[in-house]
Structure 1
């Protein structure tokens, strides 16, 4: 199974590497005010993919933080509800008599 995973990783790397080599032609991205950026197509795709993934993680981060806070509050509430009652001191009048030996 381990070798199969390595084989799949290698084939994926070879596929992506071949894609990058076949798309090494420079492309121009034109921005406002006459600014232009020239880079290989594979690099442009990689940059925008990484930027999109980072924005997706950042967007999900707020939800994760909110859920963690809610989970911590619920755990605290559960601890207070299931805490054993405080031990009550025994009444000395109700104790069994002890031998005076």
Structure 2
């Protein structure tokens, strides 16, 4: 199974590598205030992908930290209040089910 995973990864890498080699045409990226940058299409796409990943991580980091902090606090909290709350709750009524034939 590991061999199949490595073969799929190698095939994906070769496919992306061939795509990058076939897209070496120069492109011009026009920025703000009249700036422009020229580079190969594959490099521009790679830079945009990396910027998207970095932006996604920066946006999600506070949420991950908050979730880790809440998980750490709930792991260190005593279990007695939860047991007392479940013991104090009245039992739920069972639905009326027809007799099995």
State the TM-score, normalizing by the size of structure 1. 0.71
Match of 1:42, SS? helix
CA distance in 2, matches of 1:78, 1:59: 32
Residue 76 (structure 1) aligns with: 76
Once the two structures are superposed, what CA deviation does each residue of 1:22-42 show, in whole Å capped at 9, x if it has no partner?
A: 111010001123211001111
Q: Matched residue pairs, number?
A: 81
Match of 1:78, SS? coil
CA distance in 2, matches of 1:17, 1:74: 46
Residue 86 (structure 1) aligns with: none
Which ranges in structure 2 are unaligned for 5 or more consecutive residues? 82-101
Match of 2:55, SS? helix
CA distance in 1, matches of 2:53, 2:36: 24
Moved over 4 A (4+): none
Aligned-residue RMSD, C-alpha: 1.6
Which ranges in structure 1 are unaligned for 5 or more consecutive residues? 83-101
The structure that has the greater radius of gyration is 1
Once the two structures are superposed, what CA deviation does each residue of 1:7-50 show, in whole Å capped at 9, x if it has no partner?
A: 11111111001110111101000112321100111111111111
1:12 aligns to 2:12 (yes or no): yes
